[in-house]
Chains A and B, each alone.
Chain A
Amino acid sequence: MSAFVQSATRRPVLMSARIWLALLIFAGFAALPLIAALTDDPFLMLIGTRILAYAIAAMALDLILGYGAMVSFGHAAYLGFGAYAVAILNSYGVTDLLVHILFAVLLSAVFAAITGAISLRTRGVYFIMITLAFGQMAYFFFVSLSAYGGDDGTPLQSRSTLFGRDALESDLVMFYVALALLIALFAVATRIVGSRFGRVLIGTRENPVRMEAIGLSPFRYQLTAFVISGCMTSVAGVILANQAEFVSPAFMSWHRSGELIVMVVLGGIGNLTGAIGGAVVALLLEDWLAMLTEHWRLLFGVFLILMVLYSPHGITGALERLKGARK
């Protein structure tokens, strides 16, 4: 019995270390407006909002990639659904943020359920390729949507409204709304990972045959996770549209899907805090390297390779190792 008690305490310690790190990141974000005010840099809020949106998307992707071993290479489609949900509803005079999110989630749930059900009939590289194909289908659908600017996209008349007010027109308010969404979704994702459902999802990643041998058919659970992940990602799209005040198919290009995977891998797969950290580091590094040289993609690639070679569990893995070494 003693061993059991030991484990019951051992795991949560690691869990809470990750949650502490997440809280630290959230606190850092919360303080960002202060830095913006001190440095008098108006763009900092916009950059921050963009990072928050990608943090949500990376976390959502990690839910299936890291915890469910489903490498979706088409997740940018959901960024697009979120963004176009804002543009489409706005053009009909429906401006409420919550309605925008609801519509984005609905679109994404339908798309994820259909494409997920088909994609999950395959495994491994085939799953990657087929999700990529579906992502491209969504991309070209919006490219051909001339009412919303087709290839070029379309500017938003205005940002989403919050309870009838145009509060989001302030970059500061928009930033904090995005932060609140990230924190709420982090809490939801953390609960899911530790729930009955999460255990089945992770168990399927570990050994699908074993899951069937205890009477659970993995498909339904994997598909449900796929849908949840798509819906969460679309929230990031809603934020991105508002941040840029512009939507275009560029949100859903396969490069974007690749970037999301990079963020998850960089942070350490199967680690929600890591995905958030991965998004922060990837975007900051991109911006910084882009300032240094126009060949920044090459440098970024080198960094990624080093990361994968020397810290297969990503940034958070490296941190956890450092902490372990100090003890």
Chain B
Amino acid sequence: MSLLSVRNLCKNYGALEVTRNVSLDVAPGELHAIIGPNGAGKTTLIGQLSGQNAPDSGSVSLEGRDITRRSMAERVRLGLARSFQITSILPRFSVLENVAIAVQARSGSSYRFFAPVAQEAALNDAAMAALADAGLEDRAGLRASALSHGEHRRLELAIALATQPKVLLLDEPLAGTGGEEAEAFVQRLRALKGRYATVLIEHDMEAVFALADRISVLVYGEIIASGSPEVIRNDPKVRAAYLGDEEAA
């Protein structure tokens, strides 16, 4: 059974059909990559899955439960977490606090007014574990704004992990990183593979083909092909519309 299931999602921005009849499924532990040229509507699709944007029609379900009308916060509480293409953190909080507040959101009430939260060992320990998964444990004490761009990308991941998701939605986690840093990040994602069902949007084709169990190709808001990496690599439509350009370049 699929954990996340998207049926006939449509969305227009004025005359622009940004999402055209998109359907896709993600099985437990599966990593489903979505590739496509800039402006294809990938981020908008993630927005509709995470609840940040509302679709015009179609449905999104998590574990068979229709969540199309649920808010972003409700979806996170049900186990659907996302990372942002453009880093979105709490810049004046420490790295640890950025993650600990995500742990806090999933464990117990935030209507506690007196106990010092900084001393809650359970929160800090879980946050350190998520930071370790993202390779940031030695940055825990820094102000989040002091991190490098690549570290910010990893902090995004750590925060998403700390919400204990069933499904991870990652919007270009490698954006703006390159070389060894990107390679190391791919290794981390590989290590996490299987623990979460994941929808991964990524431009780095090497990363996508190394990580994905299944790839869908989005062009002008429409999925033009979907299948195993092998199938996608050899699909003539895909080569023409997308991979062709990449390889020619």
Contact = CB atoms under 8 A, between A and B. Distances in A.
Contacts of B18: none
A221 B110 contact: yes
B179 interface: no
Contacts, number: 120
B196 interface: no
Which of A6, A8, A191 has the largest count of B CB atoms less than 10 A from its CB?
A8
Contacts of B236: none
A199 B163 contact: no
B76 A214 contact: yes
B89 A207 contact: yes
A6 B71 contact: no
What size tier do the contact residues of chain A reach?
A: 35 or more
Contacts of B72: 212-213
B89 A10 contact: no
Interface string A237-265: 00000000000000000000000000000
B247 interface: no
Contact of A195 (B90, B113, B159): B113
B81 to A, nearest CB: 7
A315 B244 CA distance: 62
Interface string A1-34: 1111111101110000000000000000000000
Contacts of A6: 141
Given A207-B88, A213-B72, A195 B116 contact: yes
B88 A214 contact: no
A97 B31 CA distance: 64
B94 A7 contact: yes
Interface residues of B, number: 48
A215 B166 CA distance: 14
B22 interface: no
Contacts of B94: 7, 11
Contacts of A10: 141
Interface in A41-86: none
Interface string B86-117: 00111111101100011011101111111111
A118 to B, nearest CB: 20
B209 interface: no
B73 A196 contact: no
A206 B142 contact: no
Given A212-B72, A213-B76, A4 B90 contact: no
B68 interface: no
A277 interface: no
B9 to A, nearest CB: 20
Contacts of B163: 214-215
Nearest to B103: A214
Contacts of B106: 215
B239 interface: no
Contact of A200 (B82, B88, B110, B116): B110
Given A207-B88, A207-B91, A215-B105, 8 more contacts: A11-B118, A12-B118, A192-B114, A194-B117, A195-B115, A199-B104, A215-B102, A224-B111
9 contacts: A11-B118, A191-B114, A195-B113, A203-B90, A207-B90, A213-B159, A214-B162, A216-B110, A217-B71
Interface of B: 50, 52, 71-74, 76-77, 81-82, 84, 88-94, 96-97, 101-102, 104-106, 108-118, 120, 124, 128, 137-142, 159, 162-163
Interface of A: 1-8, 10-12, 191-192, 194-200, 202-203, 206-207, 209-217, 221, 224
Q: Which 5 A-B pairs have the closest CB atoms?
A: A7-B141, A215-B76, A3-B141, A214-B102, A4-B140
